[in-house]
Amino acid sequence: MSRVNVSWIIAVLAVELATLSAARAHSCHEVKTAFQVRQIGQLKWVPETPATDVDLSVCKHAGPSCCTRRMEESYRAAVLRDTTQNIRAYSFELKYVISAHATAFQDVFQSLISFSQNHLTSLFETTYSSLMSSISPHIVCLFTDLSRFLQGTGNVSVETAVHCFFDSLFPLVHTRIVNPGMAASIDADTSGDNQLGDCLRMTRQDVNPFGSHPKVMAKVLADALRAGRVLSLALAVGSEVMNITEAAELSKECTRALVRMQYCSHCRGLTLIRACNGYCLNVMRGCLASLSELHNPWRQYVTVLQDLSHMVVGAHNLELALLGIRGQVEEAILYAQLHGPTVTATVDKVCGHSSNSSSSTVGTFPPTSVTPPPANISQDVPGADTIGMLADLHREFTAYISRYKSFFAILPETLCEGEMGVDDITCWSGDDVVKSYTARMVGNGVRAQRQNPEVRVRSADPVLMDVKKKLELFNMEIQEVMPGVGHRESWDDTGSGESSGECDDEDGCEGSGESVASPSLTEADVSKTTEKVPFHDLPITWNNPSADASLSTASFIIIILALGLQLPFI
């Protein structure tokens, strides 16, 4: 081939390449395709070719643009929709962990209540059958009150419920077991016309026929059930926090920054370029500044949950406390038999009725330790398969919830790592295609945003600040009621939502959302907890939220366009 022919071919190819490039540069075809695939708006709003006389408020550019004012409005709606869906998608698992375990804990609590009720009933059916028909309503009443206390419904006192049960048990034990030959047998259903029965009920705590067993049983149950009740309330608070934060609105300044980050490149024909990671972090930290303020109280709140969960299986073991009811009641009856003459003599003096002491069955059943470990529970008692479920649930819950201690601090990073930011050879800086983002990086929290070059944060969201205050108050009140729960001698502020705002590159702002999780209290620490006031007197102002956790599924659409280089408009 001659040198002339080769030169001619090269010249033709150069002309064709220039023509192709010019055609691509002056076409909005790819922008229209992205507009359609991402379901942003109507295609008729996208021009066929870029124009230079468009009036844009966000994606301003001196050169030709494929965007119109109508398209900008659609981009605003799209970023609000997509960002909200992304936030809900990331928060859904946390919301589900809290709400599902709140239900699971209550289910296990109520199963243990039912099993313990059946376990105590079986004691009277097999050993003290003469009392069964009369004591049965009082057993039901006792466990109904315990159930209501655990559920947080009604003004119920565990101690009062336990002592009322023993008050009702005393007349039956005294007249049918300790003195079975007495002429005046007491019916537990008597409405008050039997003076001896009334006297025995009213003086039971003074006569003390059951020794220390009623008080021990009341104390153990009160501590264990209070820990379970506080755990349920704390989980309800967590669900309420997630419901409110999930509905938090993005500001106008945030929306403008998101449009600039995600769609202004489209206006210049660059539909595949993605935001620089540092740029994305600045935008998302600005948008989520108020959410980041929840980090410290939320982190402590998660520690409270961990400690309370440890308590109900450790220091104040709810399962053992409920399973021990039968043993405490049986030992109380045996104590009354062993001390029958003394009790009878006291009753004669206090209530003014003589009894046939010769028929007393003193010592017939010597007192023994009858509180069985869970492994010895008869499988014939309905609900025996519940034993051990609380410990399994505790392990599962603490494993899940520990992952979310820094949820609000790392949410900006999570979003940027998901779909928005990218570490590549080139990326979008909001103004142009660059090799790296060079603007100042800011930390988390409202104060840090004073230095944010991408988003103007005027003030904290009042709704979220109210949530923060309530969460801090809740943590404080829990520690007042149950000292030691959620307590840290040296609180680690790494990743604090309350940034000083003096963050620069040397401060490591890029990782400011990360925090080091402190270990939760040991059972030995928690065992030091002492009761100060009844929990139903605690001035908690939260409403019990619905445990419903609706799935908000985010749809992520990957745009696959024509191969080849994307040339910005000149």
pLDDT per position as a tens digit, 72-100: 999 999 999 999 999 998 898 899 999 99
Q: Within a domain: residue 373?
A: yes
Are the CB atoms for 30 and 269 separated by under 8 Å?
A: yes
Residue with the larger pLDDT of the pair 55 and 562 = 55
Band the pLDDT of 371: cuts 50, 70, 90: very low
Beta-strand ranges (E) seen in 240-295 are 275-276
Q: Is residue 155 part of a domain?
A: yes
| 275-276: strand order across its sheet | 421-422, 275-276, 427-428, 433-434
Report, as an integer, the average pLDDT of 149-157: 89
Domain membership flag for residue 522: no
Is residue 187 assigned to a domain? yes
Structure tokens at 131: 């009392």
Average pLDDT over residues 374-399: 72
pLDDT for 195: 81
Give long-range contacts, CB 8 A cutoff, 24+ apart: 544-551.
Answer: 544/152, 544/236, 545/236, 545/239, 545/240, 545/243, 546/239, 547/99, 547/100, 547/102, 547/103, 547/239, 548/99, 549/92, 549/95, 549/96, 549/99, 549/100, 549/239, 551/92
The predicted structure's pLDDT at residue 317: 93
Residue whose C-alpha is closest to residue 553's, from 87, 126, 152, 205: 87
3-state secondary structure 433-461: EECCCCCCCCCCCCHHHHHCCCCCCCCCC
- pLDDT band for position 380 (50/70/90)? low
Task: Kindly state whether residue 287 falls inside one of the protein's structural domains.
Answer: no
Structure confidence at residue 163 as a pLDDT band (50, 70, 90)? very high
Task: Answer whether residue 213 is part of any domain.
Answer: yes
Q: Is the model's pLDDT at 234 over the cut of 90?
A: yes
**CB-CB contact of 50 with 64 (8 Å):** yes
Q: Is the pLDDT of residue 456 over 60?
A: yes
Provide the mean pLDDT of the chain: 78
pLDDT score of 441 more than 70: yes
**In this structure, are residues 280 and 418 in contact, taking their beta carbons and an 8 Å threshold?**
no
With beta carbons less than 8 A apart as the criterion, state whether 49 and 31 touch: no
Instruction: State the burial class of residue 453 (Cβ atoms within 10 Å of its Cβ: 0-12, 13-18, 19+).
Output: middle
pLDDT attached to residue 248: 87
User: Which residue shows structure tokens 């024909």?
Assistant: 269
Please state, in angstroms and rounded to a whole number, the distance separating the CA atoms of residues 444 and 442.
7
**What's the number of domains the chain is made of?**
1
- What's the confidence (pLDDT) of residue 461? 94
Q: Is the pLDDT of residue 511 over 80?
A: no
> Band of the pLDDT at 381, cuts 50, 70, 90?
low
Instruction: Express each pLDDT in 314-351 by its tens digit.
Output: 888 999 999 999 999 999 999 999 999 999 999 988 88
Q: Determine, yes or no, domain membership for 473.
A: no
Q: Which residue has the higher pLDDT, 316 or 521?
A: 316
Confidence of residue 503 (pLDDT cuts 50, 70, 90): very low
pLDDT of residue 63: 82
Question: Over 60: is that where the pLDDT of 198 sits?
Answer: yes
Higher pLDDT, 523 or 252: 252
Radius of gyration of the chain (CA): 35
Per-residue confidence at 422, pLDDT binned at 50, 70, 90? low
| Residue 455 confidence (pLDDT) above 90 | yes
* Percent of the chain scoring above 70 in pLDDT: 71
Lowest mean pLDDT among 24-38, 156-170, 187-201, 549-563: 549-563
pTM of the model: 0.74
Residue 561 domain-assigned? no
Tokens encoding 221? 């149950």
Nearest to 229 by CA among 464, 510, 540: 540
Looking at residue 3, its amino acid is R
pLDDT at 385: 62
Domain ranges, residue 147: 133-226+318-385
pLDDT of residue 509: 41
> In 3D, which of 515, 496, 507 has the Cα closest to residue 442?
507
| Contact present, 162 and 322 (Cβ < 8 Å) | no
Reported as a single tens digit per residue, the pLDDT across 206-231 is: 999 999 999 999 999 999 999 999 99
User: How far apart are the C-alpha atoms of 71 and 34, rounded to whole Å?
Assistant: 12
Q: For residues 355 and 182, is the Cβ–Cβ distance under 8 A?
A: yes
Give the residue from 94, 83, 92 showing the smallest Cα distance to 418: 83
